[in-house]
Structure 1
Amino acid sequence: MFGHYNVFVHVSQSGPSRSYLTLLDLLCKHYCHTVIQLSAYVQAHKDGSLQHLLSGENEAYDYDLIVIGGGSGGLACSKEAAALGKKVMVLDYVVPTPKGTTWGLGGTCVNVGCIPKKLMHQTALLGTALQDARKFGWEFDETVKHNWDTMKTAVNSYIGSLNWGYRVALRDKNVNYVNAYAEFLEPHKIKAVNKRGKETFYTADKFVLATGERPRYLGIPGDKEYCITSDDLFSLPYCPGKTLLIGASYVSLECGGFLAGLGLDVTIMVRSILLRGFDQDMANRAGAHMEEHGIKFLRKYVPIKVEELEAGTPGRLKVTAKSTETDEIIEGEYNTVLIAVGRDACTDKIGLDKVGVKVNPKNGKVPVNDEEQTNVPHIFAIGDILEGKWELTPVAIQAGKLLARRLYGGSNVKCDYINVPTTVFTPLEYGSCGLPEEKAIELYGTENLEIFHSLLWPLEFTVPSRDNNQCYAKLICNKLDNDRVIGFHYLGPNAGEVTQGFGVAMKCGVTKEQLDGTIGIHPTCAEVTITFYRILQHFVG
């Protein structure tokens, strides 16, 4: 190389030194008669190609990039890389649930998460709107009832159109999509096994792990045999009937909320607290609203056994549970039991141990640096499997796009995981951005916080006379930083729409003074964000 001269240069792990870059510059000018830009050296060092060049390696791989996982993050990353001229493959395979449920391209969000959840939540809201309608003058005499099969078919037809659209988009971007399960064999080589068991082998210069998560089971007698998870619920071929939801995660509260909204008998079994990781004041308010609207909570209990009393669609199940505080044992009968106690990263069976990628043994999560790079330089990870990052679809999409641009487009923009807005679609929706009150106190101390709040009664709730002063908003400000807003929490209608705009404001560093100077839109729920009142003393419950 370099005009028949062999050059041996040590490349440090922390980056090329100034003398190292100067040497290369001189070599290229003298022997190659080509001036290579300094940025090109740095990028080549970062993506590993410079080390291959210096060591004389010129191994040809099948692909520039292989993305393992066809969810939102993996699809975004693969399409962006292909648009930047790289040869890209996506491998995606859905391992069937214990009940045999499987689905198409698009990952959890599209198939068994955000999309069907929001559509079924909307179904429940329409039921509430029907109840309100008579107060607004609508007259209808016939009995109104809900048809599960009609809803399930409509929702899954829409999801099917999304699955097809993703396949078309990959084809249009020249991304090779293969429906097969990937497993590492060597640092740059994987084995792909399709549903018929056929094995194919591929190599790539770089890899992105975007395998996502799947629901966790309880490890008690009868859980996999008789219970379902959210992976099964949205395509369940029959109405679930009387349902017990185990867990107090957002998945449990959201699913329990829309099932109750369809008129079903719903019970939620809670081991400890609602919505761990969220603001507990807001979580308890959301739970209280659900309880007032007929959802039963079994608090401080954990299941120890599930038995089938009668097979059917649905059948009858007996659940035995134990108190977390005493030796009390209780039993209950339900048609359906849904487990929603958390999710595990899908990283344990893809051969990461064979290539040395570090994984948290407790939860399967993958630690990465601020550029989503694992401890193995040519292997990256995005989405729900990241250690200590948000498990949200828009975050995975953003991270995937930005990663591809850094790898192949010369960009240096990194994904910002701070102040990410999100919404829990409970019957009374809960939107948040920034810190929960508990975390804010831990970081800054109560004396350095100013907390504002406002109860509200949405105008659309007034005529039907429901939920007076159950909607609530909270603003947490840092007194040490000009009352900058560090936490926003809203419980009420259209929480996602309200919180999204506030997320933009917090990205821009909004302060309480700036909110005070903003004119609201009247009459809306969103105007609560500029009508907060000061809480002189606010204690965390």
Structure 2
Amino acid sequence: MSYFLCWNSKVALKVVNSVTSMGAANTNRFWSRYMSGRAKKLVHQYEYDLIVLGGGSGGLACAKEAVVNGAKVACLDYVIPTPIGTKWGIGGTCVNVGCIPKKLMHQAALLGESIHEAESYGWEIPDSQKIKPDWGKLVQSVQNHIKSVNWVTRVDLRDKNVEYVNGLGSFVDPHTISAKLKNGSERLLTGQNIVIAVGGRPRYPEIPGADLGITSDDLFSLDHAPGKTLVVGAGYIGLECAGFLNGLGYDATVMVRSIVLRGFDQQMANIVADAMVERGIKFLHKTIPKVVCRNGNGRYLVKYYNTETDVESSDEFDTVLWAIGRKGLVNELNLSNVNVETKADKIIVNNAEETNVPNIYAVGDIIHGRPELTPVAIHAGRLLARRIFAGSTQIMDYTDVATTVFSPLEYACVGMAEEDAIRQHGEDNIEVFHGFYKPTEFFVPQKSVRYCYLKAVALRSDDQKVLGLHYIGPVAGEVIQGFAAAVKSGLTMKILLNTVGIHPTTAEEFTRLSITKRSGLDPTPATCCS
């Protein structure tokens, strides 16, 4: 029983009950297996059973789940201000400068569009062409919501007995963390287990004048209207920001170094970009920035270079937004003190989120080679806590994770891109069902249906297992979320096409896919019910 000397009593009681129910014959076998695993507690005494570095989605989920399973937990979180001084409260990227404010501003843009559409449905809106957004009021509304979430998060940690430390954590040794507090003092904390969940921050280009630009860390609290904006980068962050800025009435230009939406199905990515061009968003393809200068008129002169035509050009903008990728916050952790292995600013872990150091783990955007998505971090964090403190063996499944790009015409997908499926299985073994469609709600205001498109990537076998579903159109995330469970469960085209759709919805279009790319037939429907 000496094993329990350093255990939280709640954990000890659970294990005692489990052991005594086994019978004497299996007791020794249990202790041999249990104490050799990562869930074991050493006889050393530490201040905490778990210290979590990072107060974002993954770290908070892990911390709270650990407490549920009897652990004593401390969670450290500290936001280093951006070059222009932006900082925020607990909750991580998603809550403060990511998913939540992005979706709210996307919604603001959609509402503006809907106001003008309402006239065609019979709503009388005086001087509708004069309607424009108030950037300051929008920012204030978004920030008020974020601050309310910050507060609720703090209260939730207190209620769940997670000790919150507003300090920048770094390693002293594998069981000791130094927290640099806001007042400049230092506090040392010791823990049996350490989980790194510090996430990442936007990159800045290494060019003259880079510090004159902002990133998504600044945009959602910007104290002035962005005006004419150059968005450098064509990943999902860049396209989303350019999309809602354009929807709010600001001139937006996207600078593309190589391809649009790297990592996504490229046919769908190019359709998203074409739909944005149709709405008035400009794209500078194969172009990189060279220098940013402040002009005397308060604007910024950006000189840039087209790598395909070998031509240099320039233009003036009110705002330059860097969206060229994100880097993991490994430099601030003093990982050299513990020899945790890293790769390209990220931490290397195995399939159980374990680093090469026995008691140190990592979850979320900081780990190498995993989807950088909030729900992924949350689920992985919870499962990790259960493995450490509840004897669970369930690991995170990173396959078939659904996601959405909140571009003006949204794009959502789950599973494999078409090119990835062909690369893995061979072109002759892949069947792609596809079709354009016409959302009913687009008819009356005569909105363009040119880019409303979806496809199913399947194996060309008897059961035609679905490898990936892709959809561009209204409320894309809501559409794909339900299908994601089906794909996870082994959806086949036979099952999909035998499913009766809900009419008239856009989601039902998946149940009506009958034309394959291989057939060469026109995938454009004649009517909404064809």
Q: Calculate the TM-score normalised by the size of structure 2.
A: 0.92
Deviation of 1:471 (Å): 0.5
AA aligned to 2:431 is: E
Alignment of 1:486-497 (within 5 A): 486-497=467-478
Q: Report if aligned partners of 2:39, 2:388 keep a CA contact under 8 Å in 1.
A: no
Name the Cα RMSD after superposition: 1.8
Deviation of 1:272 (Å): 1.0
Q: Report if aligned partners of 1:451, 1:538 keep a CA contact under 8 Å in 2.
A: no
Q: Report if aligned partners of 2:434, 2:517 keep a CA contact under 8 Å in 1.
A: no
Please list every run of 5 or more consecutive structure 1 residues that lacks an aligned counterpart in the other structure.
4-27, 53-57
Alignment of 1:313-352 (within 5 A): 315-352=298-335
Alignment of 1:28-427 (within 5 A): 36=27, 38-47=29-38, 49=40, 52=42, 58-142=43-127, 143-224=130-211, 226-310=212-296, 315-360=298-343, 363-427=344-408
Distance 1:248 1:335 in 2: 19
AA aligned to 1:309 is: N
Deviation of 1:196 (Å): 2.0
Distance 2:305 2:222 in 1: 29
Distance 2:117 2:38 in 1: 59
Equivalent position SS for 2:346:
coil
Please list every run of 5 or more consecutive structure 2 residues that lacks an aligned counterpart in the other structure.
4-18, 521-530
Cα deviation, 1:340-394, whole Å, max 9, x if unaligned, reads 000000112201121010000xx21111111100111100000011111100000
AA aligned to 1:153 is: Q
- In structure 2, relative to structure 1, the CA distance for the partners of 1:450 and 1:155 (3 Å cut) is same
Cα deviation, 1:71-127, whole Å, max 9, x if unaligned, reads 000000000001111100000000000010000000000000000000000000001
Q: Report if aligned partners of 2:275, 2:409 keep a CA contact under 8 Å in 1.
A: yes
Distance 1:378 1:139 in 2: 65
Cα deviation, 1:414-466, whole Å, max 9, x if unaligned, reads 11101000000000000000011111110001100110001011000000111
Alignment of 1:457-472 (within 5 A): 457-472=438-453
Deviation of 1:516 (Å): 1.1
Cα deviation, 1:183-242, whole Å, max 9, x if unaligned, reads 101111111001221111011000001000100000100111x10000000000111000
Equivalent position SS for 1:155:
helix
Distance 2:272 2:481 in 1: 19
Q: Report if aligned partners of 1:105, 1:166 keep a CA contact under 8 Å in 2.
A: yes
> What residue in structure 2 maps to residue 483 of structure 1?
464
Q: Calculate the TM-score normalised by the size of structure 1.
A: 0.90
2:501 is aligned with 1:520: yes
Q: How many residues align?
A: 500
AA aligned to 1:324 is: T
Deviation of 1:533 (Å): 2.4
Distance 2:454 2:133 in 1: 33
Cα deviation, 1:291-317, whole Å, max 9, x if unaligned, reads 011001111110010000037xxx300
Distance 1:373 1:391 in 2: 17
Distance 1:191 1:281 in 2: 48
Cα deviation, 1:274-333, whole Å, max 9, x if unaligned, reads 00000010000010010011001111110010000037xxx3000000111243110000
> What residue in structure 1 maps to residue 15 of structure 2?
none
Cα deviation, 1:4-31, whole Å, max 9, x if unaligned, reads xxxxxxxxxxxxxxxxxxxxxxxx99xx
Distance 1:207 1:128 in 2: 48
Overall identity of the aligned pairs, in %: 50
Distance 1:2 1:411 in 2: 23
Spell out structure 1 runs of 4+ moving beyond 3 A: 37-41
Equivalent position SS for 1:442:
helix
Distance 1:538 1:348 in 2: 53
AA aligned to 1:390 is: P
AA aligned to 1:356 is: N
